[in-house]
Structure 1
Amino acid sequence: MFCGLALLGCMAQAQERKLKKAETKFSDFAYAPAIQSYEDLVADGYTQEQIFKNLGNANYYNAKYVEASKWYGRLFELNEADIDPEYMYRYAQTLKSLEKYDASDRWMHRFKEAKANDQRAVQFSKNSDYLERIEANSGRYEIRNLGLNSKVSDFAPSFHGRDLIFSTARDSGLISKNIHKWNNASFLNLYKATQDGQGNFITVDKLSRKLNKKTHESSTAFTKDGTTMYFTRNNSNNGKFLRDGEGVSRLKIYRATLVDGEWENIEELPFNDDSYSVAHPALSPDERQLYFASDMPGTIGESDLFVVDIHADGSFGTPRNLGPKINTEARETFPFATDSGILYFSSDGHPGLGGLDIFAFDLKENGLGRVVNVGRPVNSEEDDFTYIVDEATQKGFFASNRAGGQGGDDIYGFTETRPLDLKCHTLIAGTVKDGETGELLAHAAVKVYDNKSNVVSTSETDANGAFAMEGDCKEGNYKVVASKSDYDDGEKAFATVNAKDATGIEVVLAKTVKSAPIGTDLVTYLNIEPIYFDFDKYFIREDAKISIERVLAYLREFPEVKVEVRSHTDSRANDAYNMQLSANRAKATADYLIAQGIDKNRISFEGFGETQLTNNCSNGVPCTKEQHQMNRRSEFIVVEN
């Protein structure tokens, strides 16, 4: 008995040591070995919440989204109630890599309920049709895998004249100190690929040892004259890693100049810091600004895009966050600015297909532009990033870890065959309804006008009376005008401020009263109560006057209309008497109209006695008082319009 308890105790201590060892690896960002240690613990029966969190995160940060999805799923099977909403978001993202978009959207709805003000939740709410929008932008590229790729990671291409500079892990990883434990891959170095006259890459060479140290180097940007280079490197001292208090070697941007064919004067930029990362430089078209990614103070998410001014003397201004239009609480990274002022970047915070997607934003829109997913096939369910393009040729490059590549990340070449619509649009949405009945009106024409009466957008309501269309982002006053046959036009004013959408607009239409066709009885046409008379009487009753007011209003609205008043009796009394009684009723009705201001030349009248009964209550047929009442009436028949 004692031996058995001792053995169990030893086993428990061994498992605890394994757990502590795995947690140490994870805390040291040694994700690759941490994954193996945690998986061993799960195989031994451990099902702790923290194990599933760390397994999910370690795979997520290594872009192994299918594996991450499995562990996040196990996490939520274990406990749904008290998990940080950030795991909901990551789980939703990883489900996209499995193309389970419906399931991903369900988790995004739960994430939105938990964090309604999160920019990612806001973007999801505003773009619930994101898959349709991505599809509309898809099919604009022809892509190809490049022969320069290796069996490991190759990414971060940049233009340097006719050469392509890129980052790669292809150096030998046989020496343990050259292996990065984040992903068990060699450290990254910068290489140059040279093209022939047909655009084929014929040679691949490592750049200067002055640039490539025993650290990661990646993400380069060059001035147009090719003499100044910005690049990313781990924080280092004499080529060796420097780590912060948390054991992390942060990323920094360095600048170098080309002197007699060699890269010299390597210096780190002044806004770098040992406590946060600054990485992935990109120059503005005029080379007076530098875009980059960072998690410096003032960052909204895991990493944001910033811009800093480059002064004429080579010094720098103060970095500025590009703001919540572009940045979310997730990752925005790898910027690239074209000559026309289009900023391309990668993000897993804006609605996409899974992992990092590539997005575009028109910097010329002065902050009113929209972030647009560039679509398939450049974007996929995996990570797609480091996009660059030559707008003169519409040719460019990007990197992806999608299936079918030669290594972990591959560089792909592309030709853009159709431009991307980046014009800023706002959503204008609402309903059109009948003002009297409240019925939602289908197939009503809808137009949006600006304050100069210019048509901004047109649409039509659907079967449910709803409309949705795109407006422009200019601030000002607008109006929605709806029209439909048999209705007067209706309108609703609204204003656009800060490019915000205008939704919930309700346009109410009133039915148009049109001139009735010849032969029409206005009682029926105007849907009013009939003009009834008391038995054996021909005076106008008070209740009848209410209906006649509608007839009067109609005759005033259509002054060309002439009517004949036709009056009737029931079958009681003899035929001759009833004929005279109906004539008196017709004249009394006509006189009432004339007394209310209607020209007597527009009114004629005639009595029909009991010759036009509305029911079968003829002579000798027993009927109730109510049935006889139906026949004692006046009609207003249109004879000219």
Structure 2
Amino acid sequence: MKNNFLWTILSVFLLLGACKSIQEKGTDQFLSGQYQYAIGTFSQILEADPENLEANEKVAESYRLSNRVELASPYYEKLVEEDPSFERYFYLGQSLKAQEKDEEAKAAFENAKGYTQSEELLARIQREIEGINLAAGIEDYWPYHELVNYKELNTAGADYAPVVSEDFLYFTSGRQASGIYPATGMPYTKLFRTRIEELRVDVSGIRALPEFQNEEGLDQASIAISPDGNTIIYARGNSTSPKDLPETALFASYFRGAGFTQPIWLPVNEDESWWNSTPAFSPDGSELYFASNRPGGYGGIDLYKATKLANGDFGNAVNLGPNVNTPGNELFPRMAPDGKFFFASDGHPGYGKLDLFVAEMGKDGKQKITNLGENINSKSDDFGIFFTEYPKEGFLSSNREGGAGDDDIYYFEDKTPKPKIINVLLTVTTKERVAGEPDQILEQARVVLYDGSNKQIGGDFSNSTGRVRFTMEPQSDYTIIASKNGYFSKSIPYTTRGKTPDPATLVQDVTNVSLDTMLVLDQLILDKSIILENIYYDLDKADIRADAAVELDKLVQILKDNPSIRIELSSHTDSRSSDDYNQNLSQRRAQSAVDYIVSQGIDKDRLVAKGYGESQLIIPNATTEEEHQVNRRTEFKVIEIKE
């Protein structure tokens, strides 16, 4: 019994000693950036002791620092339960946000407020909460763009950051790996290329970058090629060799005569201890955009712009400012030909981790940042956009669910439905009015079509059947004018609104809609009286009534359509008052009509008011009210035609 007790004590001491040794090993791995190894080591400790705070913290931080924060929430939850702090609640909120657990994330951020009095940290928390709220209202920037995984191109490892130059697709991939990167447990990446035509990639011709040799035992990634194809810049780093550079940096290779030079460290890196990556040229090659964690930024990783110097190097790097950069991370810049700036960020309102955004000038002259929307972004990392036909086609990278492996390359296309075409075919028939007979066909009349802005868009002479045909747009307004020597010119408004089917209901790509209208022209004869119908006055009054104004407007239009004519406007009475009274009343009525026409923009010199009283009765011996009304009339006649 005694021996069993001693053996138990000894076993406990041996186990504690082993755990201490494992913990020291895991700590060394964590401090050296070998996060994947540290996760494995501390997970062994958690199997025996799930409450071990140091092991929970090291696993949580290892996931966060290796860009897998969404996997860290169980460990942060254990930490805030046992020993809460601002950082632990804040990172728990970020982990839950990356999983699109928005309400839980907001609760974690709210709890973090209770563990700090820093105005800067409180502002960052509020930004996170507001970002989650704003993400719920994000609209698709390109509603009809469709994203497709390029399965034939992708592998189970990482494939990302595609760039097209001179009919070749360049990209980063973990295929043909020479080792494992300890921080992530994923294969080291190299640069590859293959031929491409539009979006069709020659997946059988993929080979390692031929311009210069990929190095072993480190990551080569995120290539940029100058517009002239003579400069390659890429990110190189994550070597575990103590003799290598301590941080990821930008390297450049230049075309010199027969080939490309061996890559060299770029001066724009400035300091070997700064992280610099994800380069991209401006469309004209005069500027280099890249991401860096150098001091003086606004958060974790910021975007910078460097200018090409006289010696061909890039220098004078400047931060793109707090509108683009956030306390989070901004990477993978892409300047478009029209000045719009695309980039990836986890600091602007989005769906979880890295999302794609565009910075552009608003109508108010201020730069605005817009999330590209749910048809482009996901709750995972979405980044590295490149356009092969801006902005309709291109590639991007994502590690979203449903892919072939880790990071995958996707292509996108604009699938905006082709509009259903509606051709409105209007046939205009010209006729002439003949007294006492049906209207007759009038050929060789000039018919002109004007659009809503009064611009002439068509014109022709009517054929032997009096017809002219025009093609018009649906839901549009027009004016049609017909004219011929010896006739009053005539204009009419015409609209196609409400006369065509809803395009959404159409099946065929092209639908023709046939419409008809008619213009009847009156002969233009000097001194021939033309009666204006429905011109009525109140008893013993000369004021123009509203119903009379409608009829006089028709005469106004005739005068506008025929600017070369001068008319006499006459008024006639019946015979039921004295001659003098009727003469005076008719003159006042004629003048009242002329004054109205002048008020509508007609030159008064084109008008003569003439009252005839009862001197020109149509029915001399009228007895009924109907016969008296025939005598009470308003007429006009053309008294002059100016050449």
Instruction: Tell me the TM-score normalized by structure 2.
Output: 0.58
Which letter maps to 2:333?
P
Q: Match of 1:61?
A: 65
CA deviation after TM superposition for structure 1 residue 300, in Å? 2.6
SS of the counterpart of 1:57? Answer: helix
Matches within 5 A, 1:467-478: none
Q: 1:32 Cα deviation (Å)? A: 1.4
**CA offsets, 1:535-576, max 9 Å, x none?**
xxxxxxxxxxxxxxxxxxxxxxxxxxxxxxxxxxxxxxxxxx
Unaligned runs of 5+ in 1: 419-641
* Residue number in structure 1 paired with 2:309: 311
**C-alpha separation between the residues in 1 aligned to 2:105 and 2:61?**
17
1:163 equivalenced with 2:168 (yes/no): yes
Could you tell me how far 1:341 is from its partner in structure 2?
1.8
Q: How much has 1:261 moved relative to structure 2?
A: 6.0
Could you say which residue in structure 2 is the equivalent of 1:98?
99
- Kindly indicate whether the alpha-carbon contact (under 8 Å) linking 1:69 and 1:91 is maintained by their aligned counterparts in 2: yes
Q: 1:265 to 1:206 in 2, by over 3 A?
A: closer
Instruction: Measure, in 1, the Cα distance between the counterparts of 2:395 and 2:113.
Output: 35
Structure 2: distance between partners of 1:366 and 1:263: 46
> Which of the residues 31, 49, 52 maps onto 1:48?
52
Secondary structure of 2:263's aligned partner: strand
Q: C-alpha separation between the residues in 2 aligned to 1:240 and 1:17?
A: 25
RMSD: 2.7
Q: Aligned with 2:316: secondary structure?
A: coil
- In structure 2, distance between residues paired with 1:132 and 1:394: 26
* Cα separation, partners in 2 of 1:102 and 1:5, compared to 1, 3 Å: same
C-alpha separation in 2, matches of 1:21 and 1:367: 56
CA gap of 1:19–1:281, structure 2 versus 1, over 3 A, is same
| Residue 327 of structure 2: aligned partner | 329
TM-superposed deviation, 1:196: 4.0
Q: How does 1:211-230 map to 2 (within 5 A)?
A: 211-214=213-216, 215-230=218-233
Whole-angstrom CA distance in 2 between matches of 1:121 and 1:367: 29
Shift of 1:11: 1.4
State which of 381, 404, 408 in structure 2 corresponds to 1:406.
404
Contact kept? 2:227, 2:283, Cα under 8 Å? no
Measured after TM superposition, the shift of residue 411 of structure 1 is: 0.4
- Of 16, 31, 35, which residue of structure 2 is paired with 1:31? 35
In structure 2, which of residues 153, 156, 175 is the aligned counterpart of residue 151 of structure 1?
156
Instruction: Indicate if the aligned counterparts of 1:65 and 1:382 stay in contact, CA closer than 8 A.
Output: no
Match of 1:340 in 2: 338
Deviation at 1:335, TM superposition (A): 1.3
The answer as to whether partners of 2:102 and 2:132 remain within 8 angstroms in 1 is no
In structure 1, the partner of 2:210 is 208
- TM-superposed CA distance for 1:56, in Å, is 1.4
Distance of 1:259 and 1:308 partners within structure 2 = 23
Could you report, residue by residue, the CA deviation over 1:8-65 in whole angstroms, capped at 9, with x for unpaired residues? Answer: 2221111111111111111111111211111111110142333222211222334434
Q: Is the 8 A contact 2:351 2:377 kept in 1?
A: yes
Using the alignment, how far apart are the partners of 1:185 and 1:68 within structure 2? 18
Pair 1:286–1:211, CA change in 2 (3 A): same
Distance of 1:349 and 1:367 partners within structure 2: 23
Q: Using the alignment, how far apart are the partners of 1:242 and 1:345 within structure 2?
A: 33
Find the partner of 1:256 among 253, 258, 274.
Answer: 253
Instruction: Give the Å deviation of 1:360.
Output: 1.5
Check 1:367–1:383 CA distance in 2 against 1; reply closer, same or farther (3 A cut).
farther
Deviations 1:298-349 (A, max 9, x none): 1332211111111233133321112222222221112111111222221212
Assess if the C-alpha contact under 8 Å between 1:32 and 1:181 holds in 2: yes
Shift of 1:243: 4.7
Q: What is the DSSP-based 3-state SS (H/G/I as helix, E as strand, rest coil) of the residue aligned with 2:11?
A: helix
Aligned to 2:109: 108
**Distance in 2 separating the partners of 1:318 and 1:39:** 46
Maintained 8 Å contact 1:66/1:94:
yes
Which letter maps to 2:164? F
Aligned pair count reads 405
Change (3 A) 1:76 1:412: same
Is 1:270 matched up with 2:273? Answer: no
Shift of 1:156: 1.1
Partner of 1:133: 137
Kept in 1: contact 2:194–2:201 (CA 8 A): no
Q: Return closer, same or farther for 1:363/1:41 CA change in 2, 3 Å cut-off.
A: farther
Q: CA deviation at 1:137?
A: 4.2
Amino acid of the residue matched to residue 149 of structure 1?
N
Show the counterpart of 2:11.
7
The 1:8–1:111 alpha-carbon spacing in structure 2 relative to 1, beyond 3 Å, is closer
Q: Residues 347-387 of structure 1: CA distance to partner in whole angstroms, max 9, x if unpaired?
A: 21222111211121127999931222111132111111111
The change in CA–CA distance for 1:281 and 1:242 in structure 2 (over 3 A counts) is farther
Q: Mapping of 1:118-517 within 5 angstroms?
A: 118=121, 120-121=124-125, 123-124=127-128, 127=131, 129-135=133-139, 137=141, 139-146=143-150, 147-173=152-178, 178-196=179-197, 199-202=200-203, 203-208=205-210, 210-214=212-216, 215-234=218-237, 242-243=243-244, 249-259=246-256, 262-272=259-269, 273-362=271-360, 368-392=366-390, 394-416=392-414
Change (3 A) 1:158 1:16: same
Distance 1:112 1:5, change over 3 A: closer
CA distance in 2, matches of 1:180, 1:205: 22
Deviations 1:76-122 (CA, angstroms, capped at 9, x unpaired): 22222xx233x333322221343311112222334466455356445
| CA shift digits 1:469-493 (9 cap, x unpaired) | xxxxxxxxxxxxxxxxxxxxxxxxx
Query: For residues 373 and 242 of structure 1, what CA distance do their matches in structure 2 show?
Result: 42
Amino acid at match of 1:346: A
Opposite residue 229 of structure 2, the aligned amino acid is: G
Q: Distance in 2 between matches of 1:197 and 1:369?
A: 32
**1:224 Cα deviation from its structure 2 partner:** 1.3
Change (3 A) 1:121 1:105: same
SS in 1 for 2:290: strand
The answer to whether the 8 A contact 2:147-2:413 is kept is yes
User: What is the match of residue 444 of structure 1?
Assistant: none
Q: Return the letter of the residue paired with 2:206.
A: V
Letter aligned with residue 207 of structure 1: L
Structure 2: gaps (5+ residues): 417-643
Q: 1:240 to 1:192 in 2, by over 3 A?
A: farther
Distance 1:128 1:149, change over 3 A: closer
The answer (yes or no) to whether the contact 1:116–1:122 under 8 Å persists in 2 is no
1: CA distance between counterparts of 2:364 and 2:170? 32
**Structure 1 counterpart SS, 2:184:** coil
Kindly provide the CA deviation profile for residues 407-441 of structure 1, in whole angstroms up to 9, marking residues without a partner as x.
111000012457xxxxxxxxxxxxxxxxxxxxxxx
> Counterpart of 1:134 in 2: which secondary structure?
coil
Contact 2:303–2:325 (8 Å) recurs in 1? yes
Larger Cα-atom Rg: 2
- 1:18 paired residue among 19, 22, 33: 22
Q: Distance in 2 between matches of 1:125 and 1:21?
A: 38
* CA apart distance, 1:73: 1.9
Task: Tell me: CA distance 1:312–1:250, structure 2 relative to 1, closer, same or farther (3 Å).
Answer: same
Distance in 2, Cα, partners of 1:367 & 1:279: 31
Larger displacement relative to structure 2 (266-275 or 227-236): 227-236
Equivalent residue letter for 2:170: I
